[in-house]
Amino acid sequence: MVGSRVGMRLGAVPAAARLTRKMMRHIGGRGRAASSFGGGYGQAMATKRKTAKKSASKSVSTQSARPATGSYTVPGMTLADGHQVGRTLQDRLNSLNDLAMTLKHVHWNVVGPQFIAVHEMIDPHVVEVRDMVDETAERMATLGVSPNGTPGALVASRTWDDYSLGRATTSEHLGALDSVYDGLIAAHREAQDSVGELDAVTEDMLIGQIAKLELFQWFVRAHLESTGGDLATTGVQDEKTAAKRAARAARSSS
């Protein structure tokens, strides 16, 4: 009887094991099914992401491929003339955007004697220049030309280098700025001449901007001028040389 009971217990173990294996196979099957569902869901989401990415890429490509000019301009001007004036203003827009950033760079990096005077002289003019940026862009849009104000477009289309000074004395920065304004104002006057016979309104806008730019250049030059009326940067074409000339003149007068 003892042996029979032992045998029954020993025989029960394989039966339990078989049941356990059967249950595990069943559970394993469900696990594989769940894994398959998860994989299918992941693939579906990946497909959706790829589709969304393609759609976004297509949208950006479509936007960049859109024409910069519309089918209209202001009344009284031909479409060709209106768009020509608008394209001329894009270069002025780039210059003014660049100038606003350059002025803030100088504002942050000027050091030495007369620091606070120069530091505080710059900010009100930055506001003026930013207003010129907005005014120019809105005039372009009015003429039926889409203004492009992105940094990438500015860098790609500009014909000048970055401002070359970092931390420097007031005299050096003012000398360099005088050179910057020489080029900027000359280009503004050229643009004024080119649009003068086509659009008196745009010409008037540019004349107003030139007046403010020339006034600020006078503020700059007042720091570089001797009592005899000699300008330290006269005849200089580049910023670094102008900065050196201005610094040398400041040392000579002190």
Residues 7-66 pLDDT 10s: 443 444 444 445 445 444 444 444 434 433 344 434 444 444 444 444 444 443 444 557
| 213 in Cβ contact with 188 (< 8 Å) | yes
Rounded Cα distance between 253 and 67, Å, is 56
| 136 in Cβ contact with 187 (< 8 Å) | no
* SS3 of 96-148: HHHHHHHHHHHHHHEECCCHHHHHHHHHHHHHHHHHHHHHHHHHHHHCCECCC
* 207-216 average pLDDT score: 98
What pLDDT shows up at residue 5? Answer: 41
* 198-221 average pLDDT score: 98
Residues 107-133 pLDDT 10s: 999 999 899 999 999 999 999 999 999
What pLDDT shows up at residue 7? Answer: 42
Confidence band of 253 (pLDDT split at 50, 70, 90): confident
Which residues, at least 6 apart from 126, have a Cβ–Cβ distance to it below 8 Å?
100, 103, 104, 107
What pLDDT shows up at residue 21? Answer: 52
Contacts 24+ apart (CB under 8 A), 16-24: none
Confidence band of 228 (pLDDT split at 50, 70, 90): very high
SS3 content of the chain, % helix, strand, coil (to 5): 75, 5, 20
Phi, psi of 168 (to 5 degrees): -155, 165
Residues 153-208 pLDDT 10s: 999 989 888 999 999 999 999 999 999 999 999 999 999 999 999 999 999 999 99
Rounded Cα distance between 218 and 185, Å, is 12
| Residue with the two structure tokens 């477009």 | 153
